[in-house]
Structure 1
Amino acid sequence: MVKILVPIDFSPDSKDFVESGLRVLTEVDEINFVYVIPLGMKELEDFVDEDGIEYARKKAEEKMKDFIRDLNARARKITYTIMDGDPASVLIDLANGGEYDALLIGHRGYAYISDFFIGSVTLKLISKVRIPVIVVRKSKKAGEDVFEER
């Protein structure tokens, strides 16, 4: 049974990268989508209370349900997880926890500067995750994807 972890940030390209990656990963039995509410900065602790975190969690859950419903994905089981903290640290811990066979991620999300650069979270995952990391990168040609695996 092949189980993959798929972090998403609800950026405009999230659906495209997931569907592109799953076209190549045809033998996936279980997919766990994960969104990390980015609260990993100590500076935020004084400004974000439990009500704010709970509100963010509910909004993320609504977006996740819509995302999965609109996605063209085939797997025996599709689940999701909403967490909070530093996205890179949370995802590294999840991926290295022994539950997943691979991690599928887009090469950049909302916080990109240029299409040329790999996102900082993606870069940290590539370097610190012990399972295969499949990075889906949107190419310059419309509709063409480039896959990289560590």
Structure 2
Amino acid sequence: MPILTGELGGFPIQIKVEPSPASEANELEVLLTIPKQSFNLIIRRKLKLGKQKTDVELMDSQVDDYYIIKTEHPDKARRFLQDREIKQKLYHFREDMLLGTSIRLQDNEMRYLMTFANVGDKKRPKIIRTIELMVFLAGRLV
């Protein structure tokens, strides 16, 4: 399956598409190599219905109402995410994050995973904006 490698925003990037072992769909993986971090982080879009547990609340409805943040290091993750520009970017990104996807930060990798049957014209710009958000977040980690 296709693997695209290169550099984006000063960070090595790898984009891979392969068949999903669990279904007839494909999996898209975007991997940025970043400086090693002392905390891990998973950012997912919050569902509109029901209460979902988050490990980090920023006390800012522009982020808390739209995202679930999972981490083993809530204080470190909160300090990172409290940055005004990061909160602003996350708020503007809220409609672009597809359900069932996540941005994961662990050690020296930032990863975006998405399962799809096809990437149509509506999803393509959202995927590009997700990659742009990842590069922005990676730049704030340096």
TM bin, normalised by shorter chain, reads under 0.3
Structure with the higher fraction of residues in strand conformation? 2
Compute the TM-score of the two structures, normalised by the length of structure 1: 0.25
Higher share in helix: 1
TM-score (norm 2): 0.26
